[in-house]
Amino acid sequence: MIVLTSGAYLNFEFESLLGKLPPAFLPVGNKRLWEWQVKDLKDLHEDIALTIPMGFDLPAIDEELLAEHGLTVLRVPENLNLGQSVVYAITALKINKEPVRILHGDTLCLPISSSDTDFVLTGRSSTHYAWAELESDEEHTFHLADERSDDPDGAREVLAGYFSFADAAELARCIALENFDFVKGLNLYSQANPLITARADTWLDFGHVITYFQSKAQHTTERAFNQLSITERWIEKSSSDSDKITAEAVWFEALPMEIRPYTPQYFGRVLSQEPSERPRYRLEYLYNNTLSEIAVFGRLPVLSWQVILRRCAVFLNEARAFSQTALSDGAPLISSDDYTRKTLGRLNEFAAASGFDIDAPMVVNDQAVPSLLKMVEELAPCIEDAKPSDLGLLHGDFCFSNILYDFRSDQIRVIDPRGRDFQGEIGIWGDTRYDLAKLAHSVVGLYDFIIAGRYRLDRHDTMCFDLRYPEHDRTWDGVQNTFNQLVIGGRRSDDPGIQAMTIQLFLSMLPLHYDRPDRQQAFIANAARMFIEFEG
């Protein structure tokens, strides 16, 4: 049996960033931390139990996912320390005199494959946190000391958060005898059951705010996200699509001085040494969460989102203030027909590749909906031609996943701009209504929940769908209401034209997700859901 210990809430600093969460529920790589932990434990082929605080409101989608992975969820009293929580889990799970493995809920050790029992994993650290250190005595047996010792090179050997014991009942007895002090209990257990130790090749600790962001950066690199390379000083982005990287780099290079505070510091393009090398550019790496991570995995109150969304509105309003500059630079005005043609072109591309009948009516959530083509036809008159005042600085992909929020400075930072206008030409100017629609795409359209797989879709027959969002609660209703009250670029997000553009966005992106038919179906059902609300 493996026990993931996540029975206590994270500290107040985490709560201010993400809401009240147990450590295993932290966002990492567009998943919960527990999902990565389970993946790293799979080679052990053992049952896994996850402890959570007794009063934690377990999200329905997590409950479903945990069941799909075969995990047992054990609620523990919230006032227990680690030692008490471990003993409680061993007792409640009736592990008795059997092997037990323990992985702390804030830890990743990539991967865990050792089947040894009476085994402790260690890691090297030079930080000042009060981790339990590992010391060796004269007999070369190991002693676990719950005190910080000074090492000449500034580093120390500490417990990495993974343990394996041959006798769960004996471990529980030792911890209890030491007044439920977990580390002292390990010391007592090791007197009769010497513990083998090994240093983790990769040890990531997410349990403190500083180590959380550092570990997230390392995890991104470790998991071979091949378009990103992260160091302590910068993030380097590359792509086989040289035009895409060039457009993004030009956008950062051409930014007006007034907008630069809204972006990470730009360090320029990296000159390729070989013709075959991918084009790259570098940005300051910011230790912040994206709004996507905060929205999908966090639990912030509406009040916090009011502040965040107002900051987004300030950015969009400042971007629109460059309308005269955009006009003088020859930025083209966009007609309503341009949007419709683009959407129809993408729909036909999707239909040709997938075989989906875009001319057939549908039923979504028990309501009749016109075909995708008919939807576009009915939405088209709602989108007006762009006015000169609509032109300005265009990010081009202003959705939650490309917006970072710094709670300390109360500012947003934007990344991954499109760097092209509507005609596909490299540039920084465009129709600022599009950025508002992209933001609505996340807030109202729940785009990020779909990308993270935090939805449920049932397809009863070819054109009949049921779509639900188990985590869509009153809090998010309040967030959407707040967003709809904001005036951005002289418009509100519930302006019919913005709503129509937002719905069309889900249809336009269908061919871009050719590798995920499940996601394409969710986009179709979601566009229909929004169309029903729009028509109502």
| Domain spans, the chain | 2-206, 226-284, 289-535
- With a CB cutoff of 8 Å and minimum separation 6, the contacts of 409 are none
- What one-letter code names the amino acid at 416? D
The predicted pLDDT at position 225 comes to 45
Is the domain defined by 2-206 classed in CATH 3.90.550.10? yes
Residues in the chain: 536
- Are 436 and 491 in contact by the 8 Å Cβ rule? The answer is yes
Tokens of 177: 């005898």
Nearest of 505, 383, 500 to residue 446 by alpha carbon:
505
Between CA 141 and CA 194 the distance in angstroms is: 7
Its sign, for the CA torsion 134, 110, 84, 190, is: negative
Between CA 499 and CA 440 the distance in angstroms is: 8
The predicted pLDDT at position 148 comes to 56
Provide the CB-side half-sphere exposure for 441 (13 A, CA): 27
Between CA 62 and CA 21 the distance in angstroms is: 13
- Coil, strand, or helix at residue 376? helix
pLDDT digits (tens, 9 = 90+) for 497-519: 999 999 999 999 999 999 999 99
Between CA 214 and CA 222 the distance in angstroms is: 12
The predicted pLDDT at position 275 comes to 67
- 303 burial (CB, 10 Å; 0-12 / 13-18 / 19+) is exposed
Q: How far is CA 254 from CA 250, 394, 412, 419, in A?
A: 6, 12, 19, 10
Reported in sequence order, the residue ranges of 262-302 that DSSP labels E, i.e. its strands, are: 266-270, 280-284, 289-290
Between CA 291 and CA 302 the distance in angstroms is: 14
Tokens of 114: 């050792």
The predicted pLDDT at position 344 comes to 97
- Coil, strand, or helix at residue 375? helix
The predicted pLDDT at position 273 comes to 66
- 286 burial (CB, 10 Å; 0-12 / 13-18 / 19+) is middle
DSSP 359: T
Nearest of 106, 129, 123, 147 to residue 197 by alpha carbon:
123
Between CA 64 and CA 143 the distance in angstroms is: 41
Tokens of 349: 């591309």
- With a CB cutoff of 8 Å and minimum separation 6, the contacts of 530 are 444, 445, 499, 502, 503, 506
Q: Which residue has the tokens 């790259």?
A: 280
Between CA 501 and CA 473 the distance in angstroms is: 25
pLDDT tens, per residue, the chain with 536 residues: 999 999 999 999 999 999 999 999 999 999 999 999 999 898 888 999 999 999 999 999 999 999 999 999 999 999 899 999 999 999 999 998 899 999 999 999 866 666 678 988 888 776 666 667 777 665 545 666 655 555 555 567 788 899 999 999 999 999 999 999 999 999 899 999 988 888 888 889 999 998 999 899 888 755 444 577 888 789 999 888 889 999 999 999 999 999 999 999 999 998 776 766 788 999 999 999 999 999 999 999 999 999 999 999 999 999 999 999 999 998 889 999 999 999 999 999 999 999 999 999 999 999 999 999 999 999 999 999 999 999 999 999 999 999 999 999 999 999 999 999 888 889 999 999 999 999 999 999 999 999 999 999 999 988 999 999 987 777 899 999 999 999 887 788 889 999 999 999 999 999 999 999 999 999 999 999 999 999 87
Q: How far is CA 327 from CA 292, 324, 458, in A?
A: 33, 5, 48
Read off the pTM: 0.93
- Are 422 and 357 in contact by the 8 Å Cβ rule? The answer is no
Between CA 426 and CA 467 the distance in angstroms is: 37
The predicted pLDDT at position 227 comes to 78
Longest Cα separation, the chain: 83
Q: At what angle do helices 474-485 and 302-320 cross, to 10 degrees?
A: 30
Between CA 378 and CA 449 the distance in angstroms is: 27
- Are 10 and 25 in contact by the 8 Å Cβ rule? The answer is no
Q: How far is CA 405 from CA 18, 231, 338, 488, in A?
A: 11, 20, 33, 19
DSSP characters for 217-269?
HHHHHHTT-TTEEE-SSEEEEE-S-HHHHHHHHHHHHH--TTTGGGSPPEEEE
Architecture of domain 289-535: Alpha-Beta Complex (3.90)
Q: Which residue has the tokens 């309503």?
A: 336
